[in-house]
Every structure is written in structure tokens, then in C-alpha cells.
Amino acid sequence: MSFLSYLKDKRYFIGMYAVTMLFISMIMLVSVKGQAALNNITYTNTGCFLFAALYITFGYFYRKSFYKELNAFLGKNQHQDWAIAAMPEPQTNEQELYLQLLTQLSKDQANETHLLQAEIRNHQEFILSWIHEVKLPIAASRLIMENRAGKTAEYLVDKLEDELSKIDSYVEQALYYSRIDSFSRDYFISELSLTTLVKESIKKVAKLFITKRIRPDMESLALSVNSDSKWLGYIVNQIVANALTYTDNGGSIIFRSEETDSEKRLIIQDTGIGIDAADLGRVFDKGFTGTNGRTHSRSTGMGLYLAKQMALKLGHDLSITGAVGEGTTVTIHFLKMQHYNDLR
């Protein structure tokens, strides 16, 4: 910092000094007559000017070391985590406050950067996992075509439809994953019949129901709920797909609805292999596959995670219970309108 710049910073002090000395000089001029008044004014202004000049000069050299270190610091490309610690020591309370403010801003920015980096890593991991998963039905389709000799057209079409259905499921998952952050711009709440919603979900995987001889039970569905048909439909599709995956041939999937004073519920219960107690608390975590995902099928661990996140964004919730060998029960909780404030 140059001396002129320092004087500019001290302009209010200099202005106050000038006004004060003018006031004192006027008082002295009217209080004492003749040459004595002029002498007193001259001595007083000269002495005060010397003291003020010494104060400003010493102050400038005292601050100069701080500004010199600060300029040198600004010219370096330093890592954010230790950049604030490398700044010169504050010389005044004002500088101390500014340093505290910079430290807090640095911490906030570092936290946001870490969160962004973690989100980018999660997206990259999902993309890599998704590419790996979507290649499997593509490779299976190629094998079906390469080994088509002796197979009927109906058989080939049936098998290719199965693989295309898997690809469609993976593409849909990626599409909803990419939209999860922009959810607020892509939903419309309306009254939905749970019976209609469940029937549409079953229809999408009707072939698998038939192949595995799994019986859907919808006798206890009678409620309507307020939600977005597209997003809620995807949630139900994910739960039904999981139930089908982990339910053996000849099992059943039961759909029923309940209502209490505070909420409505859609309960989807299967007679499948169940969930290990150690996995129950983590099934909604991103990328978690658990014991079932590792031993019974290939899984990205994203289906229930997306379902949970979508449910929360819609003002709903998901819960899951089950035990190994006793099946699994997934419940979608629809909070009633008068209780929406409880979410805040």
C-alpha cells in the first residue's frame, strides 16, 4: 500500500482534524485580541499538525508490514484448506473480525466443494455401474441371436423382449436419477386411485408374474391418495420389481391399503426370501445391495434409494420390515394434508 493510499483511508480522520483545528482557531481568535491571538493560533496549529503527522506516519509504517505480507499472500496460488492460516497476523480488532469472516467463508466454501465433489463421484459411480448393468442384457441379446439355430421365431422374440425389458428398466432408472435434483419443476399433484396405480404397475411386469406363477392379491385396495402419478408410479414399480426378484416361483404379493387419523398407507407384502436384520437399516442407502443383492441377482442398489428420495420429495415416506425366510413388507406412507406442517 502506498502512502497516498493510506492517506486516502485516513481521509475522515484528516477531515475531522481540519474541522477541529479550524474551530479551535476561531475560538482563540475571538477570545484573544491582537498579535497574541495570531501567535497562539500559529503555535497551536503547528504543534497539533506535527503530532498528527507523526501519528499518521508511524501508523503507516506500522500497517505497512501487514499490507506487504497481504499483497505477497494474494500473489500466491495456495490451497484453500491452509490459505487462511497463512495470512498475516491481524494488528487491529477490525482486521481480526475480517479474518474471522474470511475463515468462516472459507470453511463454508470448502464444505460446499466437498459436497459437490462427493456428488460428482456418486454420479460417476452410478454411470459406471449403470453401463456395466446395461451391457449384460445387450450381451445376452447378442448371444440369443448367435445361438438362434433350431429356435423358433416365437422363442427368439420372447427372449429378446425379456432383454429389451431389462434395458428399458435400466434406462428408466437413469432417467429418474438424472431428474431427482430438478424434481420441483416436474411434478403435478392429483388424486390417484391406489387400485388403478397398482394395476398399471402389475401390467408392466405381467409376464414375469405369469412366468414365476406369482399371484397378486389386490382385494384390500380401496383408498385414493394425493400424489404425482408419474413419480409415485415409479416408486411402486421399483417396490414391485424388488418383490418379484426376491419371491420364488409360486409365491404371492399382497397389496393392501390402510388409513389412520394422520396418514394413508399402501402396503406391499411379498412371500419372498426376506431381508437380513443387519441390512434392514441400510436398504434405502445409495448403492447398497446387501446380502440378497450379492447372492440372488445383480443389483445396482439404486432402486430403493431412488424410491425413498422421490417419496420424501413428494411429502410421503417409505418404511420396510421383514426377516429372512418370512418375506418383506414395504409401506408407502401418505401424510394427510392437515399434517403436512409436521414435515417442516
Q: How far apart are alpha carbons 132 and 128 in whole angstroms? A: 6
Pairing of β 316-322 and β 328-335: antiparallel
pLDDT, position 344: 42
**Spatial CB neighbours of 320, under 8 Å, sequence gap ≥ 6:** 275, 280, 283, 284, 304, 328, 329, 330, 331
Q: Is the separation of the CB atoms in 243 and 209 below 8 Å? A: no
Burial environment of residue 332 by CB neighbours within 10 A (0 to 12, 13 to 18, 19 or more): buried
Q: Give the three cell numbers for residue 130.
A: 449403470
Query: What is the sign of the dihedral through the CA atoms of 171, 175, 180 and 186?
Result: negative
- In order along its 344 residues, the chain shows pLDDT tens digits of 677 877 887 888 888 989 998 998 888 888 877 788 788 888 888 999 999 889 888 888 877 777 776 666 665 655 555 556 556 666 667 667 777 777 788 788 888 888 888 888 878 888 888 888 888 889 999 998 888 888 888 888 888 988 898 888 888 888 888 877 776 667 788 899 999 999 999 998 888 888 889 888 887 788 899 998 889 999 999 999 889 888 888 889 999 999 988 899 999 999 888 888 888 888 888 766 666 554 555 556 678 888 898 899 888 999 998 888 888 999 999 988 654 444 44
The sign of the dihedral angle between the CA atoms of 14, 16, 18, 21 is negative
Whole-number Å distance between alpha carbons of 303 and 93: 54
Residue 186 sits at φ, ψ, to 5 deg, of: -145, 50
The number of angstroms, rounded, from the C-alpha of 122 to the middle of its chain's C-alpha atoms is 11
Measured CA distances, 181 to 114, 125, 139, 288, 334 (Å) = 18, 17, 32, 20, 22
Question: Which pTM does this prediction carry?
Answer: 0.66
What angle (nearest 5°) sits at the alpha carbon of residue 201, between those of residues 165 and 224?
160
| Cα–Cα distance measured from residue 236 to residue 198, given in angstroms and rounded to the nearest whole number | 7
- Residue 220 bridge partners (DSSP): 256
CA torsion through residues 188, 192, 194, 198, sign: negative
| Burial zone of 237 (CB within 10 Å; 0-12 exposed, 13-18 middle, 19+ buried) | buried
Handedness of CA 89, 94, 96, 99 (dihedral sign): negative
- Helix, strand, coil in percent for the chain, rounding step 5: 65, 15, 20
CA distance 120 to 100: 30
Within 10 A of 318 (CB to CB), how many other CB atoms are there? 20
pLDDT for position 317: 92
Instruction: Say which residues have a Cβ less than 8 Å from residue 51's Cβ, sequence separation at least 6.
Output: none
User: Beta strand 215-220 with 252-259: parallel, antiparallel or unpaired?
Assistant: parallel
